[in-house]
Amino acid sequence: MNGRDPLLHQALSDILLQSITTAIPFSQQAKILPPDTCLRDRLSEASPSAAHLVVLTVSAYRFQCLMCMVMVQDCPEPSSDEDQLKELANNLCGTFKRHLGQFVTVLGLSTPNLLPLNCLPYLQPSVVAPIQSSVYCRDGQGNSVYVALLIPENIAASDLNIPEMFTTHDLESNVGELELF
């Protein structure tokens, strides 16, 4: 990973995988994609009319990332409108925030932004930078859902207070708890 923090990549990938399986009802085949997976390469065969890109930001004082969710509607009938896609992305990002919030105390989220799929090359200019953690699953209607985190290269796991012995068990202790504002 070219001198990048492998603990950060693995921890964020695990958090993202846990988030996607929690936030997307009836998700199937959820898996972490290899670190060198370029999201735009995975979507090169997708029809622009069948694929939708939703982007959100997650930020704190010492951390920022861009969450990109792409849904490819593989089923013949469109099953989601723009509002449903944004709500799904918002739910996913909120779940990610709740899990990451165990390590980073003050996190903010943007509202979901639906962008044309041809914006993806501008968000992800290359495989080598920025750091990317990505996961894939199929939703209950059989659509493909790809989620990628684009993280600046200068962030380390220690910046996020992620323990050196991080396991997915660290995430499971707070599942289902609600936040009060």
- Which residues does 51 contact at the CB level (< 8 Å), separation at least 6? 43, 70, 71, 72, 73, 117
Residue-wise pLDDT tens digits, 107-156:
888 989 988 887 777 776 543 445 678 888 888 777 888 888 888 777 77
Rounded distance between C-alpha atoms, residue 127 and residue 110, angstroms: 25
Residue-wise pLDDT tens digits, 51-95:
788 889 888 887 788 888 888 877 666 666 778 888 888 899 999
For 108-179, where are the E strands, in sequence order?
A: 108-109, 113-115, 131-138, 144-151
Going by C-alpha positions, the residue among 65, 135, 63 that lies closest to residue 103 is 63
Q: What average pLDDT does range 2-19 have in this prediction?
A: 80
In the chain, domain spans: 6-155
Output the DSSP codes for 49-64. TTEEEEEEEEE-SS-E
pTM of the model: 0.80
Rounded distance between C-alpha atoms, residue 27 and residue 141, angstroms: 9
Rounded distance between C-alpha atoms, residue 55 and residue 78, angstroms: 20
Q: Which CATH superfamily is domain 6-155 in?
A: CheC-like (3.40.1550.10)
| DSSP reduced 3-state for 23 | helix
